[in-house]
Amino acid sequence: MIYIVLDTSIFVKVWTQSQPGNEIENLEVLAELGREDALRIVVPEIVSLEIESNWQSFPNDFGNATSGAKSTVEKALEKLSWNEIEGIKPAISTFVDDWKLKTCNECEQRYKVTQQFLAAENVIKVAFTPAIMCEGKKLMINGSMPKNGRSDQDAFIVQSLICFFELQKDENAVLFFCSSNLRDFSVETKDGISGLRLGVRGKLPSCSFFGDLGSLVKAAKDHQPIMEPALEEVREAENEQRASEEIIQTIERNSELDDFSNTTYPSVIENGIARKWMLDKLRQDIGYQRMVDQKKMLDKLRHDIGYQRMVDEVAAQKKMLDSFRQDIGYQRLAEEAAAQKKMIDNIIQNSDFQRMADEVASQKKMFDKFLQNSGYQRTADGAAAQKQMLDASAQSKSPDLGAEDNGNQSKLDLTSQKEDEKSSSEQREKREDPKVD
């Protein structure tokens, strides 16, 4: 059974529509799949609490951001020196105010849809208990969760899922986890595949991570196989992430320089943001996501055609062949054949075989040249032509002459037959009468 878990960030993206792939239609499709029991939707209570907190602060945060943008535009317009476009200033101010009101109303409507989604009867709620809080803190202490500003809530979400699956006892369970902040819950390998961190990998079922609702819905409808990176790849990715966190912590603790907060630290942060932006742009330019999707399709194709089974069968057949070769002494026979070949090569080399073959070839070449110089071919061609002329002349004779020749030939044959009979009779008389000498 597929279990779906959506992080708080996804619900925020749904009602703000600030990221492609998180359209409200995808949430409705997911709800329909849940009603058809094609999958099960799990919502930890900590997620519901975070959604409520985000929505309460959203109007104020959105208003502040919009006012900041409006102020920036107005300051830019103040620098205009062309009086003919002075009327654009109030128009832009009115447009921003209208857009803010319209957007807030649309976000409110989408927020109501998310609340209906969470309140559905088929949605499984996981209560936030003191035990989950305690075990979640342990995940943070033992390094199973990344160190960031909201690691408490992330650890509680993960621990809620651990407790939930411990009670389910579903051996065929697979987890589809969707978040716009995948680094808070997973590590990304060099191949771009996100996997569970080592500290929680054995406590949760096989898991695939998705950065938006659209890719999750497609994977759920297509029954996409789980793609988990190898343990060594996860360990390497965790070490790199831990090293980056330690560098940042070292920079934050280093307060010996008075101007550090105004120069060094911001430059480090800006460089990190710039590198991330360049990496994201590079991935977009080379079609990184498309290649990842193609790899997923290839893995699904291999799963569908039983690729691993065929590989195992080939390996088994190779093992049988190797065993058969060992039983019949294949290697020994091959070595004996090689030794015999080497002996024959030595015999040929020592007996001047190559020299004799060269002499025969040379004599044949001399004979061919002799035939060519003696006009042999010309003589043979002339004789063949004369024979052809005689045959044609014999065929052109009259029928009477041919009949006469046939009669004479018959007489000759009869005389010869009588002489042969006479000779045979004399020899028989000699054998019967010994006195005759």
In whole angstroms, how large is the CA radius of gyration of the chain? 49
Mean of pLDDT values over 198-210: 84
Round to whole Å and give the CA distance between 145 and 124: 24
Mean of pLDDT values over 175-198: 82
Mean of pLDDT values over 241-266: 58
Beta bridge partners of 178: 6, 210
Percent of the chain with pLDDT over 70: 77
For residue 418, the model assigns a pLDDT of 62
Q: Name the pairing type of β-strands 206-210 and 174-178.
A: parallel
Which of helix, strand or coil describes residue 43? strand
DSSP string for residues in 264-309: HHHHHHHHHHHHHHHHHHHHHHTTHHHHHHHHHHHHHHHHHTTHHH
Which strands, in side-by-side order, build the sheet including 2-6? 124-126, 40-44, 2-6, 174-178, 206-210
Phi/psi-derived region of residue 344, left when phi > 0, alpha when psi is between -120 and 50, beta in every other case = alpha
Q: Are 233 and 190 in contact (CB under 8 A)?
A: yes
The structure's pTM equals: 0.54
Round to whole Å and give the CA distance between 7 and 9: 5
Closest CA to 243 of 324, 340, 146: 146
7 — pLDDT class (breaks 50, 70, 90): very high
Beta bridge partners of 41: 4
CB-count burial class (<10 Å; 0-12, 13-18, 19+) for 257: exposed
Q: Which of 115-124, 150-159, 291-300 has the highest mean pLDDT?
A: 115-124
Mean of pLDDT values over 118-125: 92
315 to 109, 300, 308, 309, 324: CA distances (angstroms)? 59, 22, 10, 10, 14
Mean of pLDDT values over 186-213: 82
Residue of 259 and 395 predicted with greater confidence: 395
Mean of pLDDT values over 9-33: 90
Domain boundaries, the chain: 2-231, 308-350, 353-432
Which helix (H) or strand (E) segment is 41 a member of? strand 40-44
Average model confidence (pLDDT) across the chain: 79
Closest CA to 178 of 57, 391, 11: 11
Spatial CB neighbours of 187, under 8 Å, sequence gap ≥ 6: 194, 195, 197, 234, 237, 238, 241
401 — pLDDT class (breaks 50, 70, 90): very low
Of 20-34, 93-107, 351-365, which range is least confident? 351-365
Length of the chain as a residue count = 437
SS3 content of the chain, % helix, strand, coil (to 5): 75, 5, 20
Of 31-40, 122-131, 375-384, 412-421, which range is least confident? 412-421
Of 129-138, 150-159, 365-374, 421-430, which range is least confident? 421-430
Mean of pLDDT values over 308-320: 84
Q: Which residue has the tokens 């406590």?
A: 203
DSSP string for residues in 320-337: HHHHHHHHTTHHHHHHHH
Q: Which of 39-48, 271-280, 352-361 has the highest mean pLDDT?
A: 39-48
Q: Which residue has the tokens 């190797």?
A: 322
For residue 291, the model assigns a pLDDT of 72
118 — pLDDT class (breaks 50, 70, 90): very high
**The two three-digit tokens of residue 331, written as one number:** 């290697």
Round to whole Å and give the CA distance between 154 and 131: 15
